[in-house]
Structure 1
Amino acid sequence: MDLQLKRRLVGGAVLVFLAVIFLPMLFEDGLRSPSPFDRTMPEPPAPGEAPARIVVPDRPHLPLSSGWAVQVGSFSSAANADALVARLRQAGFPAYVARLDRAGESLYRVRVGPVLRREEAETLARRLRERFGLKGFVVSHP
């Protein structure tokens, strides 16, 4: 095969590769459906203010395949996990329990979120640390 033909084939392959990567980005906004991650989390109320009422299901329905949450506790007792979730929800944070079954034992992980971007989850973890002293860490969701 001569050198000029090889160069044209490689150049064409590179152009197709770049088109596959960048063309969807140009049309993304028109094709994307609304997502629960598009909303921003409300700020928790200042001390002395009444907390806003937020209704969050026990396991939020997420149509997207990925997101981020902050894990703030892990309990062997469902009652302890539920107590922390109630405390966080009362303060306006969207908390939930993720149950994990291993070797016949259940572990109840308390998580806050989910949010779309990791940076948002890290900010949420910082707010939880400042407000409640909870040393949470960012985990992928679900």
Structure 2
Amino acid sequence: MRESVKHRLIGAAVLAAVAVLFLPSFFKDRQQYQVDTSSHIPGRPSITAVDFNEPEQPEGIEPAPAPETMFVPEDPPVSSLPDEKENAASPVVVSASSAVSLTSQSSSVSSITPPVDQVLPEGWVIQVASLSVQEGANKLRDQLQADGHRAYVRAVPLANTTIYRVFIGPKQNKAEATALKTQLDSRLKVNSLVLPFKP
């Protein structure tokens, strides 16, 4: 009988020791994981209604016209052409002296006007390239001459430097020069120009 009581006391002591060790940690964990369910939403703000007054037209300003009449001209357009009947009824009379003076003026104007042959260019040239180095221009000229073209170099002075333009020609008509320009652009990968020949 004493042995059983002794075993019970030992078991009770062990359980008490275990309870003392584990119960505080159990309650501590429950306290750490508690969720705060209280509301943090602020209260509804108080809004004061504002009344807006109707806009008033300032003094001294005339109201705008209606859209239908805004772009209508005030006065009807006046025709600047004279009456055809009046022109037909009043023929122009030219005196003999006036006719002579008009004839002399027309003859003087025709004498001042240059003939058509002087206005037209004497030929057409193709400007193949415009280079800043004379050696490169001379090399391109020699290459074109080796291909059978009448090529030449013309120096053009500018403000701070001199450029050297390589030409081919002149050709008698513009169509021939344009056809040659197309061939040169395709072969040399350039964008040449067809210009009137200036000796």
In the superposition, the TM-score normalised over structure 2's length comes to 0.40
The verdict on how the C-alpha distance between 1:12 and 1:105 changes in structure 2, with shifts beyond 3 A counting, is closer
Supply the distance in 2 between the matched residues of 1:104 and 1:130 (Cα, whole angstroms): 33
- How much is the aligned-residue C-alpha RMSD, in angstroms? 3.3
Q: Note if 1:116 corresponds to 2:165.
A: no
2:131 partner amino acid? F
Deviations 1:13-47 (A, max 9, x none): 989x99xx9xx89xx9xxxxxxxxxxxxxxxxxxx
**Is contact 2:131–2:165 with CA below 8 Å preserved after alignment?**
yes
Deviations 1:59-101 (A, max 9, x none): xxxxx96422111111110000011111111111111101101
Shift of 1:106: 1.2
Any unmatched runs of 5+ in structure 1?
29-63
Q: Note if 1:88 corresponds to 2:144.
A: yes
Out of 94, 102, 120, the position equivalent to 2:158 is 102
Alignment of 1:21-100 (within 5 A): 66-100=122-156
Rg (Cα) greater in structure: 2
Shift of 1:8: 9.3
Q: Note if 1:138 corresponds to 2:194.
A: yes
Percent of aligned positions that are identical: 27
2:174 partner amino acid? R
Deviations 1:102-137 (A, max 9, x none): 124110001111113222221120121233333211
1:69 partner amino acid? V
Any unmatched runs of 5+ in structure 2?
1-91
1:85 partner amino acid? R
**Is contact 2:121–2:196 with CA below 8 Å preserved after alignment?**
no
Shift of 1:139: 1.6
Partner of 1:56 in structure 2? Answer: none
1:103 partner amino acid? A
Supply the distance in 1 between the matched residues of 2:121 and 2:175 (Cα, whole angstroms): 18
Q: What number of residue pairs does the alignment pair up? A: 102
Q: More strand by proportion, 1 or 2?
A: 1
Structure 1 runs of 4+ with >6 Å offset: 6-15
The verdict on how the C-alpha distance between 1:106 and 1:14 changes in structure 2, with shifts beyond 3 A counting, is closer
In the superposition, the TM-score normalised over structure 1's length comes to 0.53
Partner of 2:184 in structure 1? Answer: 128
Supply the distance in 2 between the matched residues of 1:85 and 1:113 (Cα, whole angstroms): 12
Supply the distance in 2 between the matched residues of 1:106 and 1:12 (Cα, whole angstroms): 51
- Report which structure shows greater RCO (CA 8 Å, sep ≥6): 1
